[in-house]
Structure 1
Amino acid sequence: MSAANGRPPPAQPARPGDVGRRVARRREELGLTREEAAARGGLTPGYFEYVESQPAVIQVDALARLATVLQTSVAHLLGAEQGPPPGETPVPVRPSPPEELSTTECRSRITPGGVGRVVLSTPEGPAALPVSFRFLDDTVVFRTAAGSVLADVVGAEVAFEVDRIDDALGEGWSVLLTGTAEELTHAETIRSLIEDSGPRP
């Protein structure tokens, strides 16, 4: 499935990632400036500015240092701590209005891969089936077993959805793609995906 066709969209201002927003929120909760937080951890204020304002990929050791400085855990900064089911925490009194993500922003959110949902029509009605996926060359790639419901949608129009809800920040995002399901038959490409820990059924 292709995420976008035609010309690429105009460049968009960088926006912070989920980790960056949690770092900024926790720092503000502690009443620390970037300079004060940096001094605690032997970091630079510029590093805090970078983490909080850019959708950066942060190494585990750097996350551990940030968690120590901010008196929290790596799990909290990653949004992975246990809590109520997504969406069940109270929403802010004045929730922010929804914003439409640019094509570039959509790509940045699904490029790491993970778990998404293939939405399709079945004889029993609509279905949304979870799959592990990768995003390569503007194409969503997932693996399924022969004879499965997903294997039967080759040639059909389907949708693919990925989302994430951050209860701690009262924020979330969703990316929806549509396209035609195709069977991957190129042996070299399949071998490369498998050797590179490709998606599993």
Structure 2
Amino acid sequence: MYDNADPMTRPDPRVLARRVAERRLQLGLSEGALATQAGMAPRYLQHLLGAGVDFDPGGFVRIASALHLSYDDLLEGRTGLPPGQGEPAVHPALLRLTEHECWDRLGSRGVGRVALALEPSPGVFPVNYAVDAHAADGPSIVYRTAPDSVAAPGAGAAVSFEVDRVDDHVSQGWSVLLSGVAEHVDDPVVARRLSESHVVEPWSGGDLPLWVRIRPGHVSGRRIGVL
């Protein structure tokens, strides 16, 4: 058993996290489903996979059970196949996200990049964003900036906005791209609603009174899956 082994022989957390991800995908389990079956919160599962076996061996016992493996098989990389076959081959692939899945990954707020057509060349700027789901014609991206900021496009300007999360260690991740038109939120009632309902604190701080809305014309996304 690994519990009595020299800690130096324990698997690297990155290797173990990749092994868990590959086995989970083989079983058709989402990360949330695995966490539920292992009796832990999804955030704790993510922390556990990053911390490794020493942090909570009992947690890995529950993970192994949820993956239909023994504790030793999980740590040693065995998946119950006949001797000599080893672990089944897996191949990362880009899979298309539906529009609903794109908005689900964007969540309610986060950090993204807005791409603007500037001179002499296009510019890409990180911004703290929020999703305004209460607009009459569908969800949109909003963020705050100064009127004279390079991240403040002119009203009616064509813009793109991207958010991604990629973990090379486990060959997982996703990317969402929106293209559309920028608007300035001039209605003080709407601006007040955005300020009160969305905690969007720009990194630069200060008084940034301009709310920019990106009205998406096209939403697309890809995720890294395993075939």
Contact kept in structure 2, 1:24 and 1:52, CA below 8 Å: no
Q: Which runs of 5 or more structure 2 residues have no equivalent in the other structure?
A: 1-16, 49-55, 61-88, 134-138, 203-227
**TM-superposed deviation, 1:139:** 0.3
Q: What is residue 108 of structure 1 aligned with on the other side?
A: 104
- The superposition leaves residues 56-79 of structure 1 with CA deviations (integer Å, 9 ceiling, x where unpaired) of 9xxx977448944425xxxxxxxx
Structure 2 counterpart SS, 1:158: strand
Number of residue pairs matched by the alignment: 139
Change (3 A) 1:53 1:23: farther
Query: Who is 2:6 aligned against?
Result: none
TM-score, scaled relative to structure 2: 0.50
Using the TM superposition, give the Cα deviation of residue 151 of structure 1 relative to its aligned residue in structure 2, in angstroms: 2.0
The structure that is strand-richer by fraction is 2
Looking at structure 1, the residues matched to 42 and 181 of structure 2 have their Cα atoms a distance apart, in angstroms, of: 41
Aligned pairs (5 A) from 1:151-170: 151-170=152-171
Gap runs ≥5 in structure 1? 1-21, 30-47, 72-92
Compared with structure 1, are the counterparts of its residues 50 and 121 closer, same or farther at alpha carbon in structure 2 (3 Å cutoff)? Answer: closer
Alignment partners' CA distance in 1, 2:166 and 2:100: 20
1:135, 1:172 → 2: CA distance?
Answer: 20
> 1:175: Cα distance to partner?
0.4
> Greater CA radius of gyration, 1 or 2?
2
In the other structure, the counterpart of 2:33 is 52
Deviates more, 1:184-193 or 1:96-105: 184-193
Normalising by the residue count of structure 1, what TM-score does the alignment of the two structures yield? 0.56
Tell me what 1:25 maps to. Answer: 20
Match of 2:211 in 1: none
Aligned to 1:70: 59
> What residue in structure 1 maps to residue 148 of structure 2?
147
Query: Any conservation in 1 of the 2:113–2:125 contact (CA below 8 Å)?
Result: yes
Identity among equivalent positions (%) equals 32
Shift of 1:117: 0.5
* CA RMSD, Structure 1 to Structure 2 (Å): 3.7
